[in-house]
């Protein structure tokens, strides 16, 4: 791709995770609205990794998915655009004596892995940092890096097609109930500054990239999980 007009995904949008104080409250704040232990278990069941598997965790954050996968897999490639997040995740992995994770300061549009080299890709609450056109490019890159029959787990804020404004207002109010003013303000910033996508568009982007959507789940109206698989044919 011609890099002259490549989107700069390292530019700050929404919450500033280059700040150490924001990184340190990431896990506690997310525990207010998600059960990470259960979610990780579901992803492991979906991927069915083994000791030879290789997994890519894009937007790895504090490393929760990466560390869990590394206990099972041969190799985990963990990337994030926040150096502070990567440092935090790496220190967490070291404290747990996990040595098979490669941490790289990178993103959806510039990770560097061979085509058809990865068994599973995780994208958890990070794809919304890209505008829709660049989401399509990111999904194509994910599709290409996966082996045939490779699996992709996408979890993000996805706006419903029916009465989206009402759904957003209800979601903001619910986040405030679960996590107080901090989570309410965080959610408002998300919709003002980041790039969540309408449901029908997200599905179209996934299908156009070549994915088969095997299952969908929705939580709290806007938190959407897509369980996707790459077709069995080599690309």
Q: What is the 3-state secondary structure (H, E, C) of the chain?
A: CCHHHCCCCCCCCCCCCCCHHHHHCHHHHHCCCCCHHHHHHHHHHHHCCCCCCEEEEECCCCCHHHHHHHCCCCEEEEEECCHHHHHHHHHHHHHCCCCCEEEEECCCCCCCCCCCCEEEEEEECCHHHCCHHHHHHHHHHHHHHEEEEEEEEEEEEEECCCCHHHHHHHHHHHHHHHHHHHHHHHHHHHHHHCCCEEHHHHHHHHHHHCEEEEEEEEECCCEEEEEEEECCCCC
Burial degree of 93 (CB within 10 A; 0-12, 13-18, 19+): buried
Higher pLDDT, 233 or 181: 181
* pLDDT at site 233: 59
What are residue 58's DSSP bridge partners? Answer: 79, 123
31-45: per-residue pLDDT in tens? Answer: 777 889 999 999 999
Fold classification of 13-230 (topology level): Rossmann fold (3.40.50)
Quote the CA–CA distance of 206 and 203 in Å, as a whole number. Answer: 5
* pLDDT at site 234: 47
Percent of the chain with pLDDT over 70: 98
CA dihedral 218, 227, 131, 60 (to 10 degrees): 100
Quote the CA–CA distance of 70 and 54 in Å, as a whole number. Answer: 9
**What's the whole-model pTM score?**
0.94
Residue of 209, 59, 211, 188 whose CA lies nearest to 133: 209
Place of tokens 């290409």: 144
Give the mean pLDDT of 16-29.
78
Give the mean pLDDT of 87-116.
97
Q: How confident is the model at residue 21 (pLDDT cuts 50, 70, 90)?
A: confident
177-231: per-residue pLDDT in tens? Answer: 988 888 899 999 999 999 999 999 999 999 999 999 999 999 999 999 999 999 8
* pLDDT at site 1: 63
- Give the other-Cβ count within 10 Å of 177's Cβ: 11
Give the mean pLDDT of 90-109.
97
112-141: per-residue pLDDT in tens? Answer: 999 999 999 999 999 999 999 999 999 999
Quote the CA–CA distance of 200 and 96 in Å, as a whole number. Answer: 41
Quote the CA–CA distance of 135 and 102 in Å, as a whole number. Answer: 24
Quote the CA–CA distance of 199 and 194 in Å, as a whole number. Answer: 16
Q: Hey, where are the domains in the chain?
A: 13-230
* pLDDT at site 2: 66
Give the mean pLDDT of 44-51.
96
């Amino acid at each position: 791709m011609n890099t002259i007009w490549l989107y700069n995904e390292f530019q700050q949008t929404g919450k500033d995770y280059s700040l150490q104080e924001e990184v340190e409250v990431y896990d506690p704040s997310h525990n207010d609205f998600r059960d990470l232990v259960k979610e990780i278990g579901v992803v492991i069941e979906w991927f069915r990794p083994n000791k030879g598997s290789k997994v890519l965790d894009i937007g790895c954050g504090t490393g929760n998915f990466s560390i869990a996968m590394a206990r099972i897999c041969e190799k985990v490639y963990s990337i994030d655009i926040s150096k502070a997040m990567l440092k935090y995740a790496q220190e967490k992995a070291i404290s747990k004596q996990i040595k098979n994770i490669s941490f790289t300061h990178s993103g959806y549009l510039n990770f560097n892995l061979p085509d058809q080299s990865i068994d599973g890709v995780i994208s958890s609450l990070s794809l919304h940092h890209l505008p829709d056109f660049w989401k399509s490019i990111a999904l194509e890159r994910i599709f290409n890096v996966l082996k045939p029959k490779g699996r992709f787990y996408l979890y993000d804020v996805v706006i419903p097609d029916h009465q989206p404004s009402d759904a957003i207002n209800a979601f903001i109010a619910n986040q405030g109930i679960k996590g107080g003013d901090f989570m309410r303000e965080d959610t408002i910033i998300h919709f003002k500054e980041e790039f969540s996508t309408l449901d029908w568009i997200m599905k179209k982007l996934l299908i156009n990239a070549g994915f088969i959507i095997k299952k969908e789940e929705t939580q709290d109206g806007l938190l959407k999980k897509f369980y996707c698989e790459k077709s069995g044919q080599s690309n």
